[in-house]
Chains A and B, each alone.
Chain A
Amino acid sequence: MSPWQAGLLLAFDLTLVLTLLGVAWQLLRGVNLFRSVVLFIAFGLLLSLAWVRLQAPDVALAEAAIGAGVTGALLLVALGRLRRMASGRHGGEGS
Protein backbone atom coordinates (compact mmCIF):
# COMPACT_ATOMS: atom_id res chain seq x y z
CA MET A 1 0.00 0.00 0.00
CA SER A 2 1.42 3.36 -1.00
CA PRO A 3 1.66 6.09 1.67
CA TRP A 4 -0.88 8.05 -0.34
CA GLN A 5 -3.44 5.24 0.00
CA ALA A 6 -2.65 4.80 3.68
CA GLY A 7 -3.23 8.49 4.26
CA LEU A 8 -6.53 8.33 2.44
CA LEU A 9 -7.63 5.35 4.56
CA LEU A 10 -6.60 7.16 7.74
CA ALA A 11 -8.64 10.18 6.68
CA PHE A 12 -11.60 7.88 6.02
CA ASP A 13 -11.25 6.23 9.44
CA LEU A 14 -11.04 9.58 11.21
CA THR A 15 -14.11 10.85 9.36
CA LEU A 16 -15.95 7.65 10.27
CA VAL A 17 -15.07 7.96 13.96
CA LEU A 18 -16.06 11.62 14.08
CA THR A 19 -19.34 10.92 12.25
CA LEU A 20 -20.12 8.06 14.65
CA LEU A 21 -19.52 10.29 17.67
CA GLY A 22 -21.53 13.13 16.11
CA VAL A 23 -24.49 10.90 15.22
CA ALA A 24 -24.43 9.30 18.68
CA TRP A 25 -24.43 12.74 20.32
CA GLN A 26 -27.29 13.95 18.12
CA LEU A 27 -29.48 10.90 18.69
CA LEU A 28 -28.94 10.96 22.45
CA ARG A 29 -29.69 14.63 23.02
CA GLY A 30 -32.55 15.06 20.52
CA VAL A 31 -36.09 15.38 21.86
CA ASN A 32 -37.80 14.17 18.68
CA LEU A 33 -38.02 10.39 19.18
CA PHE A 34 -38.65 9.62 15.50
CA ARG A 35 -35.52 11.54 14.54
CA SER A 36 -33.57 9.66 17.20
CA VAL A 37 -34.73 6.29 15.86
CA VAL A 38 -33.74 7.20 12.31
CA LEU A 39 -30.37 8.41 13.57
CA PHE A 40 -30.00 5.14 15.49
CA ILE A 41 -30.45 3.20 12.24
CA ALA A 42 -27.89 5.43 10.54
CA PHE A 43 -25.58 4.88 13.51
CA GLY A 44 -25.92 1.10 13.11
CA LEU A 45 -25.01 1.28 9.42
CA LEU A 46 -21.99 3.49 10.12
CA LEU A 47 -20.94 1.14 12.92
CA SER A 48 -21.09 -1.83 10.58
CA LEU A 49 -18.79 0.14 8.27
CA ALA A 50 -16.44 0.56 11.23
CA TRP A 51 -16.51 -3.22 11.80
CA VAL A 52 -15.56 -3.71 8.16
CA ARG A 53 -12.61 -1.40 8.67
CA LEU A 54 -11.62 -3.47 11.72
CA GLN A 55 -11.63 -6.53 9.41
CA ALA A 56 -14.55 -8.19 11.19
CA PRO A 57 -17.01 -8.79 8.31
CA ASP A 58 -19.08 -11.27 10.36
CA VAL A 59 -19.77 -8.70 13.05
CA ALA A 60 -20.39 -6.07 10.37
CA LEU A 61 -23.03 -8.23 8.70
CA ALA A 62 -24.74 -8.97 12.02
CA GLU A 63 -24.64 -5.29 13.00
CA ALA A 64 -26.16 -4.15 9.70
CA ALA A 65 -28.87 -6.84 9.66
CA ILE A 66 -29.82 -6.99 13.34
CA GLY A 67 -28.42 -3.81 14.91
CA ALA A 68 -29.58 -1.41 12.22
CA GLY A 69 -32.32 -3.27 10.33
CA VAL A 70 -34.37 -5.33 12.73
CA THR A 71 -33.79 -3.22 15.84
CA GLY A 72 -34.71 -0.14 13.81
CA ALA A 73 -37.96 -1.77 12.67
CA LEU A 74 -38.76 -2.81 16.26
CA LEU A 75 -38.08 0.71 17.56
CA LEU A 76 -40.23 2.29 14.82
CA VAL A 77 -43.19 -0.01 15.53
CA ALA A 78 -42.83 0.58 19.28
CA LEU A 79 -42.83 4.33 18.61
CA GLY A 80 -46.00 4.01 16.52
CA ARG A 81 -47.70 2.06 19.32
CA LEU A 82 -46.62 4.63 21.90
CA ARG A 83 -48.07 7.44 19.80
CA ARG A 84 -51.34 5.59 19.39
CA MET A 85 -51.52 4.93 23.12
CA ALA A 86 -50.88 8.61 23.79
CA SER A 87 -53.54 9.76 21.30
CA GLY A 88 -55.98 7.09 22.54
CA ARG A 89 -55.73 8.52 26.04
CA HIS A 90 -56.80 11.94 24.77
CA GLY A 91 -59.43 11.02 22.20
CA GLY A 92 -61.20 7.82 23.28
CA GLU A 93 -60.24 4.22 22.60
CA GLY A 94 -60.21 3.40 18.91
CA SER A 95 -59.25 -0.01 17.59
Chain B
Amino acid sequence: MSRPRLSHVLTSLLAGALGVALVLILLELPAHSGLAEPVTEAMDRSGVGHEVTAVLLNFRGYDTFLELAVLLLAVWVAWSLGRQDPVPARSVRGPVLRGTLRHLVPVAVLTGGYLVWVGASTTGGAFQGGAVLGAAGVMLVLARPRSLPRVPRLGLRFVVALGVLVFLASGVGGLLGGHGFMGYHPDWAYALIVAVELAAAVSIGLGLVLLFLGGRVQGDDDDH
Protein backbone atom coordinates (compact mmCIF):
# COMPACT_ATOMS: atom_id res chain seq x y z
CA MET B 1 0.00 0.00 0.00
CA SER B 2 2.90 2.34 0.56
CA ARG B 3 4.26 2.04 -2.99
CA PRO B 4 1.53 3.90 -4.88
CA ARG B 5 1.60 6.59 -2.23
CA LEU B 6 5.37 6.99 -2.67
CA SER B 7 4.95 7.27 -6.44
CA HIS B 8 2.18 9.80 -5.95
CA VAL B 9 4.42 11.88 -3.70
CA LEU B 10 7.28 11.63 -6.21
CA THR B 11 5.02 12.65 -9.11
CA SER B 12 3.63 15.59 -7.16
CA LEU B 13 7.13 16.71 -6.17
CA LEU B 14 8.41 16.49 -9.74
CA ALA B 15 5.36 18.31 -11.13
CA GLY B 16 5.70 20.97 -8.43
CA ALA B 17 9.42 21.40 -9.18
CA LEU B 18 8.64 21.76 -12.88
CA GLY B 19 5.96 24.35 -12.10
CA VAL B 20 8.33 26.36 -9.88
CA ALA B 21 11.05 26.19 -12.56
CA LEU B 22 8.61 27.46 -15.21
CA VAL B 23 7.49 30.35 -12.99
CA LEU B 24 11.14 31.25 -12.29
CA ILE B 25 11.92 31.24 -16.02
CA LEU B 26 8.87 33.42 -16.63
CA LEU B 27 10.10 35.94 -14.07
CA GLU B 28 13.54 35.98 -15.72
CA LEU B 29 12.18 36.79 -19.19
CA PRO B 30 13.67 39.98 -20.61
CA ALA B 31 11.25 42.87 -21.00
CA HIS B 32 10.31 42.85 -24.67
CA SER B 33 7.28 44.13 -26.46
CA GLY B 34 7.39 41.24 -28.94
CA LEU B 35 6.19 41.89 -32.44
CA ALA B 36 3.74 44.64 -31.50
CA GLU B 37 5.86 47.43 -33.01
CA PRO B 38 6.53 45.86 -36.42
CA VAL B 39 2.83 44.98 -36.69
CA THR B 40 1.74 48.52 -35.80
CA GLU B 41 4.16 49.93 -38.37
CA ALA B 42 2.81 47.70 -41.13
CA MET B 43 -0.88 48.17 -40.28
CA ASP B 44 -1.52 50.74 -43.05
CA ARG B 45 -0.50 48.15 -45.65
CA SER B 46 -2.54 45.29 -44.16
CA GLY B 47 -5.93 46.34 -45.52
CA VAL B 48 -7.73 45.82 -42.19
CA GLY B 49 -7.99 47.87 -39.03
CA HIS B 50 -7.55 45.15 -36.42
CA GLU B 51 -4.05 43.96 -35.53
CA VAL B 52 -5.06 40.38 -34.76
CA THR B 53 -6.89 39.97 -38.07
CA ALA B 54 -3.97 41.59 -39.91
CA VAL B 55 -1.57 39.04 -38.41
CA LEU B 56 -3.88 36.07 -38.92
CA LEU B 57 -5.01 36.78 -42.48
CA ASN B 58 -2.20 38.86 -43.91
CA PHE B 59 1.20 38.79 -42.20
CA ARG B 60 0.94 35.16 -41.12
CA GLY B 61 -1.75 34.04 -43.54
CA TYR B 62 0.09 30.81 -44.25
CA ASP B 63 -0.44 29.61 -40.66
CA THR B 64 -4.18 30.32 -40.81
CA PHE B 65 -4.34 28.58 -44.17
CA LEU B 66 -2.79 25.48 -42.61
CA GLU B 67 -5.27 25.65 -39.70
CA LEU B 68 -8.14 25.53 -42.19
CA ALA B 69 -6.43 22.64 -43.96
CA VAL B 70 -6.15 20.79 -40.63
CA LEU B 71 -9.90 21.12 -40.09
CA LEU B 72 -10.54 19.84 -43.62
CA LEU B 73 -8.17 16.95 -42.93
CA ALA B 74 -10.03 16.14 -39.70
CA VAL B 75 -13.34 15.89 -41.59
CA TRP B 76 -11.57 13.75 -44.20
CA VAL B 77 -10.25 11.37 -41.54
CA ALA B 78 -13.63 11.17 -39.76
CA TRP B 79 -15.27 10.26 -43.06
CA SER B 80 -12.63 7.67 -43.89
CA LEU B 81 -13.42 5.91 -40.62
CA GLY B 82 -16.81 4.88 -41.97
CA ARG B 83 -20.44 5.66 -42.36
CA GLN B 84 -22.12 7.94 -39.87
CA ASP B 85 -24.01 6.17 -37.13
CA PRO B 86 -27.02 8.05 -35.81
CA VAL B 87 -26.33 10.79 -33.31
CA PRO B 88 -27.00 9.36 -29.84
CA ALA B 89 -29.95 11.62 -29.14
CA ARG B 90 -33.66 11.04 -29.11
CA SER B 91 -35.89 13.09 -31.36
CA VAL B 92 -37.41 15.76 -29.17
CA ARG B 93 -41.19 15.76 -29.04
CA GLY B 94 -43.26 18.87 -28.64
CA PRO B 95 -43.02 22.30 -30.21
CA VAL B 96 -40.69 24.03 -27.74
CA LEU B 97 -37.29 23.10 -29.17
CA ARG B 98 -38.32 23.50 -32.79
CA GLY B 99 -40.05 26.79 -32.12
CA THR B 100 -37.00 28.07 -30.24
CA LEU B 101 -34.68 26.97 -33.03
CA ARG B 102 -36.83 28.69 -35.62
CA HIS B 103 -36.01 31.95 -33.88
CA LEU B 104 -32.51 31.10 -32.69
CA VAL B 105 -30.93 29.85 -35.93
CA PRO B 106 -31.50 33.09 -37.89
CA VAL B 107 -30.02 35.01 -34.96
CA ALA B 108 -27.03 32.64 -34.92
CA VAL B 109 -26.48 33.07 -38.66
CA LEU B 110 -26.68 36.84 -38.25
CA THR B 111 -24.28 36.74 -35.28
CA GLY B 112 -21.82 34.52 -37.15
CA GLY B 113 -21.89 36.77 -40.19
CA TYR B 114 -21.48 39.84 -38.00
CA LEU B 115 -18.49 38.32 -36.19
CA VAL B 116 -16.77 37.64 -39.53
CA TRP B 117 -17.59 41.10 -40.86
CA VAL B 118 -16.54 42.96 -37.73
CA GLY B 119 -13.30 40.96 -37.56
CA ALA B 120 -11.77 43.36 -40.08
CA SER B 121 -11.98 46.28 -37.66
CA THR B 122 -12.21 44.86 -34.13
CA THR B 123 -12.53 41.63 -32.15
CA GLY B 124 -14.05 38.84 -34.20
CA GLY B 125 -13.06 36.69 -37.12
CA ALA B 126 -13.61 33.61 -39.22
CA PHE B 127 -13.05 31.00 -36.51
CA GLN B 128 -15.38 32.67 -34.02
CA GLY B 129 -18.07 33.30 -36.63
CA GLY B 130 -17.65 29.78 -38.01
CA ALA B 131 -18.03 28.31 -34.53
CA VAL B 132 -21.31 30.19 -34.04
CA LEU B 133 -22.56 28.88 -37.40
CA GLY B 134 -21.41 25.39 -36.42
CA ALA B 135 -23.24 25.62 -33.09
CA ALA B 136 -26.44 26.55 -34.95
CA GLY B 137 -25.94 23.50 -37.21
CA VAL B 138 -25.35 21.23 -34.23
CA MET B 139 -28.59 22.42 -32.63
CA LEU B 140 -30.46 21.77 -35.88
CA VAL B 141 -29.02 18.24 -35.96
CA LEU B 142 -30.01 17.67 -32.33
CA ALA B 143 -33.56 18.88 -32.97
CA ARG B 144 -34.16 16.19 -35.59
CA PRO B 145 -31.36 13.63 -35.40
CA ARG B 146 -33.28 11.01 -37.39
CA SER B 147 -34.20 13.13 -40.41
CA LEU B 148 -31.12 14.95 -41.60
CA PRO B 149 -31.46 16.77 -44.90
CA ARG B 150 -30.07 15.03 -47.98
CA VAL B 151 -27.25 17.13 -49.33
CA PRO B 152 -25.76 16.68 -52.80
CA ARG B 153 -22.45 14.82 -52.52
CA LEU B 154 -20.38 17.19 -54.59
CA GLY B 155 -21.94 20.30 -53.06
CA LEU B 156 -21.12 19.14 -49.53
CA ARG B 157 -17.49 18.44 -50.39
CA PHE B 158 -17.19 21.73 -52.22
CA VAL B 159 -18.52 23.82 -49.32
CA VAL B 160 -16.31 22.04 -46.75
CA ALA B 161 -13.25 22.77 -48.90
CA LEU B 162 -14.40 26.29 -49.86
CA GLY B 163 -12.34 28.10 -47.21
CA VAL B 164 -9.13 26.33 -48.20
CA LEU B 165 -9.87 26.79 -51.91
CA VAL B 166 -10.58 30.53 -51.67
CA PHE B 167 -7.55 31.07 -49.43
CA LEU B 168 -5.34 29.10 -51.82
CA ALA B 169 -6.69 30.96 -54.85
CA SER B 170 -6.07 34.31 -53.14
CA GLY B 171 -2.59 33.19 -52.07
CA VAL B 172 -1.64 32.01 -55.57
CA GLY B 173 -3.11 35.24 -56.94
CA GLY B 174 -0.74 37.17 -54.66
CA LEU B 175 2.15 35.04 -55.91
CA LEU B 176 1.28 35.72 -59.56
CA GLY B 177 0.78 39.41 -58.80
CA GLY B 178 4.30 39.66 -57.41
CA HIS B 179 3.40 40.00 -53.72
CA GLY B 180 4.68 36.59 -52.69
CA PHE B 181 2.65 33.52 -51.79
CA MET B 182 -0.23 34.51 -49.44
CA GLY B 183 0.52 38.18 -50.06
CA TYR B 184 -2.02 40.79 -51.13
CA HIS B 185 -1.94 43.90 -53.23
CA PRO B 186 -2.53 46.64 -50.64
CA ASP B 187 -5.52 48.03 -52.57
CA TRP B 188 -7.15 44.62 -52.78
CA ALA B 189 -6.23 43.39 -49.33
CA TYR B 190 -9.48 44.35 -47.60
CA ALA B 191 -11.82 42.75 -50.17
CA LEU B 192 -9.70 39.61 -50.41
CA ILE B 193 -9.41 39.22 -46.63
CA VAL B 194 -13.16 39.58 -46.10
CA ALA B 195 -13.84 37.11 -48.94
CA VAL B 196 -11.38 34.59 -47.47
CA GLU B 197 -12.85 35.03 -44.00
CA LEU B 198 -16.44 34.56 -45.18
CA ALA B 199 -15.56 31.41 -47.12
CA ALA B 200 -13.50 30.14 -44.19
CA ALA B 201 -16.33 30.76 -41.70
CA VAL B 202 -18.82 28.80 -43.83
CA SER B 203 -16.35 25.93 -44.21
CA ILE B 204 -15.50 25.94 -40.51
CA GLY B 205 -19.18 25.88 -39.53
CA LEU B 206 -19.99 23.03 -41.87
CA GLY B 207 -16.80 21.17 -40.92
CA LEU B 208 -17.68 21.33 -37.22
CA VAL B 209 -21.20 20.02 -37.89
CA LEU B 210 -19.77 17.17 -39.98
CA LEU B 211 -17.30 16.33 -37.20
CA PHE B 212 -20.23 16.30 -34.77
CA LEU B 213 -22.06 13.86 -37.05
CA GLY B 214 -18.86 11.81 -37.39
CA GLY B 215 -18.50 9.64 -40.45
CA ARG B 216 -19.99 10.07 -43.89
CA VAL B 217 -23.60 11.21 -43.98
CA GLN B 218 -26.21 8.53 -44.63
CA GLY B 219 -26.97 8.16 -48.31
CA ASP B 220 -23.59 9.59 -49.24
CA ASP B 221 -22.16 6.35 -50.64
CA ASP B 222 -19.36 6.43 -53.10
CA ASP B 223 -18.26 2.85 -52.70
CA HIS B 224 -20.32 1.55 -55.61
Instruction: Report A's interface with B, CB cutoff 8 A.
Output: 57-58, 61-62, 65-66, 69-70, 73-74, 77-78, 80-81, 83-84, 95
Contact = CB atoms under 8 A, between A and B. Distances in A.
Contacts of A74: 211-212
A61 B124 contact: yes
> For the complex, would chain B's binding face be called helix, strand, loop or mixed by DSSP majority?
helix
Contacts of B138: 70, 73
Interface string B104-141: 00000000000100000001110110011011001000
Interface of B: 52, 85-89, 115, 123-125, 127-128, 131-132, 134-135, 138, 208, 211-212, 214
B134 A58 contact: no
A70 B212 CA distance: 9
A-side interface mostly: helix
Given A65-B131, A73-B135, A80-B88, 6 more contacts: A58-B52, A58-B125, A58-B128, A66-B128, A73-B138, A80-B87
Nearest to A80: B88
A18 to B, nearest CB: 15
A31 to B, nearest CB: 16
Leading 3 A-B pairs by shortest Cβ distance: A80-B88, A65-B131, A57-B123
A34 B52 CA distance: 35
Contacts of B115: 61
B123 A80 contact: no
Contacts of A77: 87-88, 212, 214
